[in-house]
Amino acid sequence: MITNSYSKNYKINGTAYIETKDIPFSKKEISDLGKYCKEVNKEFIEIGDAGEKNHLLVGRFMTDVKEPKLVDNEFTEKVIKIISSKKILNFIKKICNCNDEVYIRRAQYNEITEGCFVGYHLDKDSNPDYLAACVIQFGTDFSGGLYRVYNKSNTKKFIDYKPEYGSLLVSDCDYPHEVTKVEKGSRESLVFFVSKNNGKNNRYQKN
Ligand SMILES: [Fe+2]
């Protein structure tokens, strides 16, 4: 099965880069998601959810501050319907070698233009129960903007992924990562997080 080699990469490197030809979304779903992302209202973000330094535009569909919450706009329902279908969640579960039920907790569009980036961070600082981050790429013509995933035990080591249009990155939220500075063009992606927990965000229980 095609997912086997991807789940192996996920297990070894903390990330699976699923090429456009192998993604579980149809062409129409990708084009619809791209359209919703383009049209949704965006805000400029300089400090990320995990306290990291950022520089990007964000359009939100689902937030996860205290618990998962749908954002009230005309696209949210359509976006969530596509990304939370059985077909998609089962595919992600296979990549993550996960047999339990998983839920989407947060979904947002990130637009990173020339000179902008997403700073080094750990997704688990936003929510300790996040299992994986899933990133669908809509940018077609950009340079830089690499998805850089660091080795968990040796943070001097990393692997860079250059996401193509229509590709899907599935990344273990235990691995620190960043998006390097976009040198040219615009890097546009839909990011959503899956978790086995569908309840409260437990980050506030740490203190
Ligand atoms: Fe992240």
For ligand 1, the distance from its centroid to the CA atom of residue 2, given in whole angstroms, is 26
Tell me whether residue 65 is in a domain: yes
Residues with CB under 5 A from ligand 1 (ion): 123
For ligand 1, the distance from its centroid to the CA atom of residue 163, given in whole angstroms, is 15
CATH code (residue 110): 2.60.120.620
Tell me whether residue 128 is in a domain: yes
Tell me whether residue 33 is in a domain: yes
How many domains, in total, are found in the chain? 1
Task: Please report the pLDDT score of residue 15 as a whole number.
Answer: 98
Per cent of the chain over pLDDT 70 is 99
For ligand 1, the distance from its centroid to the CA atom of residue 5, given in whole angstroms, is 23
Q: Model confidence at 206, in pLDDT bands (50, 70, 90)?
A: low
For ligand 1, the distance from its centroid to the CA atom of residue 193, given in whole angstroms, is 9
CA 30 to chain centre: 15
Say which residue the tokens 């965000």 belong to: 201
Range 47-52 average pLDDT:
79
For ligand 1, the distance from its centroid to the CA atom of residue 22, given in whole angstroms, is 23
Tell me whether residue 90 is in a domain: yes
Amino acid at 117: F
> Which has more pLDDT, 156 or 62?
62
In which domain, by residue range, is 161 found? 2-197
Task: Please report the pLDDT score of residue 134 as a whole number.
Answer: 98
Tell me whether residue 207 is in a domain: no
User: Cα(117)–Cα(183) distance, rounded to whole angstroms?
Assistant: 10
The token duo for 184 is 């040219």
CB-hemisphere CA count at 13 Å for 48? 22
Range 56-71 average pLDDT:
96
Tell me whether residue 193 is in a domain: yes
For ligand 1, the distance from its centroid to the CA atom of residue 181, given in whole angstroms, is 15
**Predicted confidence (pLDDT) at residue 89 exceeds the cutoff of 70:** yes
**Predicted confidence (pLDDT) at residue 205 exceeds the cutoff of 80:** no
Q: Model confidence at 128, in pLDDT bands (50, 70, 90)?
A: very high
Q: For all residues of the chain together, what is the average pLDDT?
A: 94
For ligand 1, the distance from its centroid to the CA atom of residue 29, given in whole angstroms, is 23
> CA angle, corner 27, sides to 184 and 78, nearest 5?
90
This prediction's pTM? 0.95
Q: Model confidence at 188, in pLDDT bands (50, 70, 90)?
A: very high
**Predicted confidence (pLDDT) at residue 207 exceeds the cutoff of 60:** no
Closest CA to 34 of 118, 109, 96, 143: 109
Range 62-68 average pLDDT:
96
User: Cα(88)–Cα(175) distance, rounded to whole angstroms?
Assistant: 22
Tell me whether residue 204 is in a domain: no
> CA angle, corner 80, sides to 76 and 86, nearest 5?
165
Tell me whether residue 80 is in a domain: yes
Task: Please report the pLDDT score of residue 1 as a whole number.
Answer: 67
